[in-house]
Chain A
Amino acid sequence: MSIPKQPLNQRVLKYVITFLIIAGSLWSASGLEITPERFLTAPSKVWILITAMFPLDLSQEAIDRIVPKVGESLFIAWAGTVIGAFFSFPIAFLAANNFSLNAFSRVTKQILNVIRAFPELILAFVLLPITGLGPLTGTLAVGIHSIGTLGKLSSEVIEGIDEGPLESIKSSGGSKLNELFFGVIPQVMPTITSYWLYRFEINLRASAVLGVVGAGGVGAELINQLRFRDFPRAGTVLVVTIVMVLIVDAISAAIRRRIIKGRDIRV
């Protein structure tokens, strides 16, 4: 019985990856001057903050201030998602390499990459002097960033379509436009719509923080209460935000499930 030798790359890979992970962590931790005991003492410090938040400030005045701000975040997220969906949809076709010219597709994809690289907050404060303090700036920032992310995802959906239905339309004498409306769009719509909704869930979190730079939403409220050390009220801001996000997530997830199920039936 001659036992085979384990190939070198199999033997080495495990150690290389382990080394990279440990070395990366240590290099980063030492650069940031973070020691293990800081991690060990962190939980008790967080606990102090949490206990300081309770009981929550549920006074009428606090609720009247906070709830509209949370609502504002919701509207920013939705309007931003609508902007993102509206513009990304045609752009996605330009970026899809099976539908657009190769050079076109490449350029569009690079533009989308650049748009995506800007976080909403950075977009927001570049826009701020032009569009003013307030939710409009937040909406535009969320919207522009969403064009980048939705454009990329949607173009990938378009690139992954089943070419069968297209061929049957082509062979029965359909035009390019017929192909688009009867072959491509019905196929990609369910997935793309569910990406829109998913993006809305993400945008909700993004819009919540935009207030930090004055671009509307609940973020300003949280940072102000924390600065003034009014922890019960900061706690209320957090709880109201969390409840809103949980509700929206649940609704959106339920709709996404229905949309995706609908697609399966059509296949």
Chain B
Amino acid sequence: MTVVGYPFALFFSIFSFFQVGFNIDDFKRNWENRKLVTDTLFDPKWDWAIENASLALLETIQIAILASILGCFIALPLSFYASRATNQSTLTYVVYKSFLNFIRTIPDLFWAMLFTVAVGLGPFAGVLALVMFSLAIMGKLLSETIDSIDLGPLEAAKASGAKHTQAVFTSALPQILPNFTAYFLYIFELCIRASVILGLVGAGGVGRIIETQRIFLRFDRISPIIVLILVAVIAIEQFSVWLRRKIL
């Protein structure tokens, strides 16, 4: 495998770079344009950004909170069906596993585009998109975690005459709860990042403002918004790291 693998990877890399057009001439020509960005990017209009983007940023955070909670809690029962350890039926196992794999193949912004068409523009489409996004990630991570739980307690519960559902809830669920919490915080971070860009396709949040300013090349207005987002994302991430350490 190594003999074929490495040369192929190298060849494919070179081929890819040609395909994406790594062209020095174009690069040079466009380099002249950099002033368009750099002149304004480093001249942030703070007042404008705070006045116009704070509410949208709040909306972004609310989308991420609602979507990650809904997505993760929908994923919780599905994951038990998508694991061999807790689902004895091959048929439903395959169905749930394939369903989770399928929704994982569609990128978050594609979901957002589809939902804006289906349910209309606005944050609700964004929430639905990120629900699918969190559901897919949580479903994969959690079902793989359930695959490797200790089956002993389940056997003990079964041996005492418990129903399958009872055994799963009392003996399997507590084993994966710490993982679930850690994944939830991780997915919440991912959702915060992802929700920033939802507005680019009209699915709510701060991306909407970025999109309109971007069209007019108002990088002086965009750069402070980006900094605001950065601060929010890093603050939330630090909070989640702290929380993880605290409760796990």
Residue with the greatest number of chain A CB neighbours at <10 A, chosen from B33, B34, B105, B106: B105
9-residue interface stretch from B24-32, B45-53, B76-84? B24-32
Chain B residues with CB under 8 A of A226:
113-114, 117
Chain B residues with CB under 8 A of A206:
107
Known interface pairs A132-B26, A209-B110; A78-B124 also in contact (CB < 8 Å) = no
Chain A residues with CB under 8 A of B23:
136
9-residue interface stretch from B89-97, B158-166, B168-176, B194-202? B194-202
Would you call A139 an interface residue if the criterion is a C-beta within 8 Å of the partner chain's C-beta atoms?
yes
Known interface pairs A38-B124, A136-B20, A136-B21; A82-B66 also in contact (CB < 8 Å) = no
Least Cβ distance of A138 to chain B in Å?
A: 7
Would you call B234 an interface residue if the criterion is a C-beta within 8 Å of the partner chain's C-beta atoms?
yes
Would you call B41 an interface residue if the criterion is a C-beta within 8 Å of the partner chain's C-beta atoms?
yes
Q: How far is the CA of A42 from the CA of B70 in the complex (A)?
A: 15
Would you call B226 an interface residue if the criterion is a C-beta within 8 Å of the partner chain's C-beta atoms?
yes
Would you call B242 an interface residue if the criterion is a C-beta within 8 Å of the partner chain's C-beta atoms?
no
Would you call A34 an interface residue if the criterion is a C-beta within 8 Å of the partner chain's C-beta atoms?
yes
Residue with the greatest number of chain B CB neighbours at <10 A, chosen from A130, A213, A258: A130
Known interface pairs A21-B69, A113-B234; A131-B27 also in contact (CB < 8 Å) = yes
Would you call A114 an interface residue if the criterion is a C-beta within 8 Å of the partner chain's C-beta atoms?
yes
Chain A residues with CB under 8 A of B115:
46
Would you call A45 an interface residue if the criterion is a C-beta within 8 Å of the partner chain's C-beta atoms?
yes
B36 to A117, Cβ gap below 8 A? no
Would you call B59 an interface residue if the criterion is a C-beta within 8 Å of the partner chain's C-beta atoms?
yes
Main secondary structure of the interface of B (DSSP, over half): helix
- By beta carbon, the residue of chain A nearest B217 is A129
Would you call A31 an interface residue if the criterion is a C-beta within 8 Å of the partner chain's C-beta atoms?
yes
Q: How far is the CA of A258 from the CA of B110 in the complex (A)?
A: 32
- Considering only residues 106-160 of chain A, those with a C-beta below 8 Å from chain B are 113-114, 117-119, 121-122, 125-126, 129-132, 134-136, 138-139
A32 to B127, Cβ gap below 8 A? yes
Q: How far is the CA of A113 from the CA of B230 in the complex (A)?
A: 10
A246 to B119, Cβ gap below 8 A? no
B58 to A31, Cβ gap below 8 A? yes
A32 to B59, Cβ gap below 8 A? yes
Enumerate the 7 nearest inter-chain pairs by beta-carbon distance, A residue then B residue, closest first: A209-B109, A28-B62, A28-B66, A205-B107, A135-B20, A75-B19, A79-B16
Chain A interface (Cβ within 8 Å of chain B)?
A: 21, 24-25, 27-29, 31-34, 38, 42, 45-46, 48-49, 71-72, 74-76, 78-79, 82, 113-114, 117-119, 121-122, 125-126, 129-132, 134-136, 138-139, 205-206, 208-209, 212-213, 216, 219, 222-223, 226, 238, 241-242, 245-246, 249, 255, 258
Given contacts A28-B66, A132-B26, 19 further A-B contacts (CB under 8 A): A21-B69, A34-B123, A46-B114, A48-B118, A75-B19, A79-B13, A79-B17, A79-B20, A82-B13, A119-B193, A129-B33, A129-B37, A130-B34, A131-B27, A212-B201, A241-B105, A241-B106, A246-B101, A258-B1
